[in-house]
């Protein structure tokens, strides 16, 4: 994290080095010319903090402590070359700026008088090395994605987009109209289907009138039969034996008629069940289109409708069979009567009249049945057209593309003039405007990450992004190529975040007892190591090489108030110089400001 936060400062600022006595004495005129302006500049910096600054004389010799080399990991020490820049100390940068100015106007140095000088005391502030809990972190990078990205698809196919009412970045509420499809064709189809319904209703009324006419004709035919029978009563009395046969045949006709009536009743019952099943299918279809019930329930209703259709067909088959039985019985009656006619020629004319009258009755009965069948067929046409109207009205409602939930429009794909397709989305909505960061973590470090852990988030490209997130979970799959897992981080709301951003995350993994000092006390060296100035008992300072560890405290990306872990070189209770450390040498005399 240190390398990231202070990479720019490291490029701009030179390093502060610990000089040996030989280096100090051998410094050239140009180097010595830097000292006074630099110290004046830094003194003004210290004055702003309310700390008096006493600068030692340039000619003063001082003994420099040569620290024993300590083995420190190169990566950790290189990271600390940038600490001072992040902490706001900036000593080396000031020296460089003054050097550029002084190099142009430097005058030849004047030899110092060979007289003893009193050592100059430097005023500093100190801090005590503390033993405290130090947080350990895991660094990772990843991409910002939507926590829940909803696709918005049209429910109607093959219609042109007429209006697009939202743009990318707009907030939408659930049910809000996002786009409008061209509904002119559907409205025309609805008008045609409505006209067909009205026409079918008229046909049903006409068929009902035909039923009444056929019924009247049947009644007239039956009256004619009665008259014919009265004309042959005397002959029938003489031919009882023949009439017995005729009576038996007529009994068969009666049974056949009863069968016909029963079959018709069966048709009516089956048709009623079919009508009810069709209504249930229509109602269920509407609910399924709205997503209220499951597709399985709709299929069950359709199965019930199919069963009802089969029952109607069976009842019609039973009616046809009963009509055949009736016709067969009527044929037997005619045969018996023919035998009577043959046997009794004197009553042939009368019986012929009876037969003719009964034939008219049968014709009238057939006309009644046909008229009733027309009524049923036309009524079915009415229901079919009404169902089509309802279906078209549903499709008309689907020409309004609505937001499935509240959120932020992430994508606008559909444009005016495009043709809708049920499998091609028009928009994408970030549900609830919630974003998450998907960090890539090696599988070897996954055991250090736990849900609920805090994460400090920064961006290389946008320094305004300094956020605190929380580990939500770890996805179960590991990339077989990179051997990395995805850790999902819940992000707070921020106007600077965008889906697709590349961010860095510092995950707190554990805490351990350790020593810490203020970050401003650390002085990076050119060889990659770091030192602090430790306060000795005689008000002098000792340059102490240290091994640094984790950073804690302070805002994200700001080390001004941060503490640095000391792994080696100090012990608890030691006092180190914080303010003024950049002006000191090993063994320098200091005054501790209160």
Q: Tell me: do 130 and 199 sit in the same domain.
A: no
- Smallest CA-to-CA distance from 127 within 586, 585, 580, 556 is with 580
Instruction: Give domain status of residue 483, yes or no.
Output: no
Collapsing DSSP states into helix, strand and coil, what is residue 57? coil
Domain end point (choices 362, 391, 420): 391
Where residue 554 falls among pLDDT bands split at 50, 70, 90? low
557 in any annotated domain: yes
Both 218 and 360 in one domain: the answer is yes
The yes-or-no verdict on residue 6 having pLDDT over 90 is no
Please give the distance of CA 514 from its chain centroid, rounded to a whole number.
44
When pLDDT is cut at 50, 70 and 90, the band that residue 341 belongs to is: low
Tell me what the mean pLDDT of segment 263-288 comes to. 88
Q: What pLDDT was estimated at residue 537?
A: 81
CA-nearest of 253, 250, 256, 273 to 319 is 256
- Work out the mean pLDDT of the chain and round it to a whole number: 75
Do 125 and 63 share a structural domain? Answer: yes
Lowest mean pLDDT among 16-30, 89-103, 406-420, 580-594: 89-103
DSSP string, 58-101: TT-------PPP----HHHHHHGGGHHHHHT--HHHHHHHHHHH
- The arithmetic mean of pLDDT across residues 251-276, rounded, is 85
Q: Is the pLDDT of residue 73 over 70?
A: no
| pLDDT tops 60 at residue 27 | no
The whole-angstrom separation of Cα 351 and Cα 168 is 93
Q: Between 371 and 514, where is the model more confident?
A: 514
Confidence tier at 50 by pLDDT (50, 70, 90): very low
Let me know: does 518 contact 80? Beta carbons within 8 Å: no
> At residue 440, does pLDDT exceed 90?
yes
Rounded average pLDDT over 292-307? 87
pLDDT at 242: 65
- For the segment 343-360, the average pLDDT, to the nearest whole number, is 74
Q: 303-316 burial string, b = 16+ CB within 10 Å, else e?
A: ebbeebbebbeebb
- What is the CA angle 95-565-563, rounded to 5? 65
Q: How far is CA 308 from the centre of its chain?
A: 43
* Per-residue model confidence (pLDDT) at position 128: 92
Strands annotated E in 345-496: 400-402, 407-412, 427-431, 435-442, 454-458, 466-478, 484-490
**Mean pLDDT on 238-259:** 76
H or E segment to which residue 219 belongs: helix 184-231
Q: How confident is the model at residue 546 (pLDDT cuts 50, 70, 90)?
A: very high
User: Domain range holding 563?
Assistant: 2-141+504-592
Q: How confident is the model at residue 481 (pLDDT cuts 50, 70, 90)?
A: very high
* Residue 22, helix vs strand vs coil: helix
Once rounded to an integer, what is the mean pLDDT over residues 488-513? 88
Question: In which band, very low, low, confident or very high, does the pLDDT at 59 lie, cut at 50, 70 and 90?
Answer: very low
23 falls within a domain: yes
What are the tokens at 562? 């941060």
- pTM (predicted TM-score): 0.40
pLDDT digits (tens, 9 = 90+) for 310-323: 988 988 898 898 88
Cβ 350 vs Cβ 190: under 8 Å: no
Question: Residue 36: is its pLDDT beyond 50?
Answer: no
Same domain for 51 and 84, yes or no, is: yes
Question: Phi first, then psi: what are they for 174, rounded to 5°?
Answer: -60, 130
* Same domain for 159 and 48: no
Q: What is the pLDDT of residue 156?
A: 80
- Predicted confidence band of residue 553 (pLDDT cuts 50, 70, 90): low
Token pair belonging to 501: 């951003």
Q: Indicate whether 63 and 174 sit together in one domain.
A: no
DSSP 121: P
pLDDT band at 495 (very low <50, low <70, confident <90, very high): confident
**Distances 233 to 241, 333, 344, 437, 525 between C-alpha atoms, Å:** 14, 17, 13, 106, 142
As a whole number, mean pLDDT of residues 196-225 equals 78
Closest of 417, 392, 401 to residue 155, by C-alpha: 401
SS3 label, residue 251: helix
Residue 51 predicted with pLDDT over 70: no
Give pLDDT, residue 93.
34
What is residue 209's three-state secondary structure? helix
Q: What is the pLDDT of residues 398-421, one digit of tens each?
A: 788 889 888 888 888 888 988 888
Identify the helix (H) or strand (E) that includes residue 328. helix 295-343
- What was the pLDDT predicted at 144? 92
CATH number for the domain that contains residue 417: 2.40.50.100
Which pLDDT score, from 0 to 100, does residue 122 have? 86
Instruction: Indicate if 117 and 226 belong to the same structural domain.
Output: no
- Residue among 437, 434, 537 at smallest CA distance from 143: 437
Whether residues 240 and 383 share a domain: the answer is yes
pLDDT band at 78 (very low <50, low <70, confident <90, very high): very low
Q: Are residues 532 and 565 located together in one domain of the fold?
A: yes
Specify whether 137 is located in the same domain as 102.
yes
User: Is there a domain that residue 462 lies in?
Assistant: no
Token pair 């091609």 in the structure block, residue? 424
pLDDT at 563: 84
Say yes or no to pLDDT of 512 above 50.
Answer: yes
pLDDT at 272 over 60: yes
Strands 400-402 and 177-181: antiparallel
**33 CB burial (10 A radius; 0-12, 13-18, 19+):** buried
Among candidate residues 331, 361, 391, the one where a domain is terminated: 391
Q: How confident is the model at residue 557 (pLDDT cuts 50, 70, 90)?
A: low
Within 10 angstroms of residue 383's Cβ, the number of other Cβ atoms is: 16
Please determine, for residue 146, whether its predicted confidence score (pLDDT) is greater than 80: yes
Of the candidates 35, 36, 53, the residue with the CA atom closest to the CA atom of residue 44? 53
Quote the CA–CA distance of 224 and 358 in Å, as a whole number: 8
> In the prediction, which pLDDT does 143 show?
94
| Inside any domain, residue 481 | no
What pLDDT is attached to residue 500?
Answer: 87
- Confidence grade of residue 375 (pLDDT, cut at 50, 70, 90): confident
Measured CA to CA, the distance from residue 125 to residue 390 in angstroms comes to 85
- 281 and 362 assigned to the same domain: yes
Q: Give the model's pLDDT for residue 237.
A: 67
Q: 531 pairs with which residues across the strands?
A: 523, 545
Least confident of 51-65, 286-300, 418-432: 51-65
83 located within any domain:
yes
CATH number reported for the structural domain that contains residue 513 in this entry = 2.40.420.20
Q: Which one has a higher pLDDT value, 220 or 174?
A: 174
Number of domains forming the structure of the chain? 3
Q: How far apart are CA 230 and CA 213, in angstroms?
A: 26
- Same domain, yes or no: 119 and 175: no
In this predicted structure, what is the pLDDT of residue 239? 66
Site of tokens 């009736």: 326
Q: What is the mean pLDDT of residues 256-268?
A: 85
pLDDT band at 154 (very low <50, low <70, confident <90, very high): confident
Residue 521 lies in a domain: yes
Residue 455: per-residue pLDDT: 92
Give the pLDDT of residue 330.
Answer: 83
E strands in 433-497: 435-442, 454-458, 466-478, 484-490
Residue 103 lies in a domain: yes
- Residue from 318, 351, 353 nearest 337 by CA: 351
- What's 351's domain CATH number? 1.10.287
């Amino acid at each position: 994290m240190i390398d990231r936060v202070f990479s720019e400062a490291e490029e701009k600022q030179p390093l502060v080095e610990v000089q040996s006595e030989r280096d100090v004495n051998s410094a050239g005129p140009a180097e010595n010319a830097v000292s006074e302006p630099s110290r004046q500049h830094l003194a003004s910096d210290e004055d702003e903090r309310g700390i008096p600054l006493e600068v030692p004389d340039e000619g003063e010799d001082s003994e420099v402590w040569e620290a024993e080399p300590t083995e420190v990991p190169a990566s950790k020490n290189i990271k600390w070359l940038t600490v001072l820049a992040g902490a706001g100390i900036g000593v080396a940068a000031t020296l460089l700026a003054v050097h550029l100015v002084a190099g142009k106007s430097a005058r030849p140095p004047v030899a110092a008088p060979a007289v003893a000088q009193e050592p100059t005391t430097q005023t500093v502030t100190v801090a005590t090395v503390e033993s405290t809990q130090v947080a350990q972190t895991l660094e990772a990078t990843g991409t910002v994605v939507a926590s829940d990205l909803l696709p918005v698809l049209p429910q109607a196919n093959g219609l042109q987009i007429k209006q697009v009412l939202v743009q990318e970045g707009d907030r939408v509420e659930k049910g809000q109209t996002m786009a409008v499809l061209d509904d002119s064709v559907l409205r025309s189809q609805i008008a045609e289907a409505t006209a067909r319904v009205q026409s079918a209703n008229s046909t049903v009324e006409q068929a009902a009138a035909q039923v009444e006419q056929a019924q009247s004709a049947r009644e007239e035919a039956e009256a004619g039969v009665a008259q014919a029978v009265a004309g042959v009563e005397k002959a029938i009395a003489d031919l009882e034996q023949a009439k017995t046969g005729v009576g038996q045949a007529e009994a068969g006709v009666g049974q056949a008629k009863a069968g016909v009536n029963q079959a018709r009743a069966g048709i009516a019952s089956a048709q009623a069940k079919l009508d009810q099943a069709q209504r249930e299918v229509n109602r269920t279809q509407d609910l399924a289109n709205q997503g209220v019930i499951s597709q399985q329930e709709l299929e069950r209703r359709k199965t019930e409708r199919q069963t009802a259709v089969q029952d109607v067909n069976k009842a019609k088959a039973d009616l046809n069979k009963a009509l055949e039985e009736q016709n067969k019985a009527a044929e037997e009656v005619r045969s018996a009567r023919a035998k009577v006619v043959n046997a009794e020629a004197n009553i042939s004319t009368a019986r012929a009249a009876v037969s003719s009258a009964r034939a008219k009755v049968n014709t009238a009965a057939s006309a009644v049945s046909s008229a009733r069948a027309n009524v049923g067929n036309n009524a079915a046409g009415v229901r079919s057209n009404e169902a089509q109207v309802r279906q078209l009205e549903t499709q008309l409602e689907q020409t309004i593309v609505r937001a499935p939930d509240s959120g932020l429009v992430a994508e606008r794909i559909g444009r005016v003039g495009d043709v809708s397709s049920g499998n091609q989305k028009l928009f994408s909505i970030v549900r609830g405007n919630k974003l998450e960061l998907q960090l890539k973590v090696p599988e070897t470090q996954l055991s250090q990450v736990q849900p609920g852990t805090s994460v400090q988030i920064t961006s290389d490209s946008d320094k305004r992004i300094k956020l605190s997130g929380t580990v939500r979970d770890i996805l179960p799959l590991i990339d077989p190529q990179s051997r990395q897992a995805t850790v999902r981080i819940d992000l707070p709301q921020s106007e600077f975040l965008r889906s697709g951003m590349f961010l860095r995350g510092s995950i707190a993994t554990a805490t351990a007892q350790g020593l810490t000092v203020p970050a401003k006390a650390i002085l990076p060296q050119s060889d990659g190591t770091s030192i602090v100035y430790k306060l000795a008992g005689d008000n002098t300072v000792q340059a102490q090489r240290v091994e640094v560890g984790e950073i804690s405290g302070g805002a994200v990306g700001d080390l001004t108030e941060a503490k640095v872990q000391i792994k080696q070189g100090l012990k608890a209770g030691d006092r180190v110089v914080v303010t003024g450390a950049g002006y000191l040498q090993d063994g320098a005399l200091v005054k501790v400001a209160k």
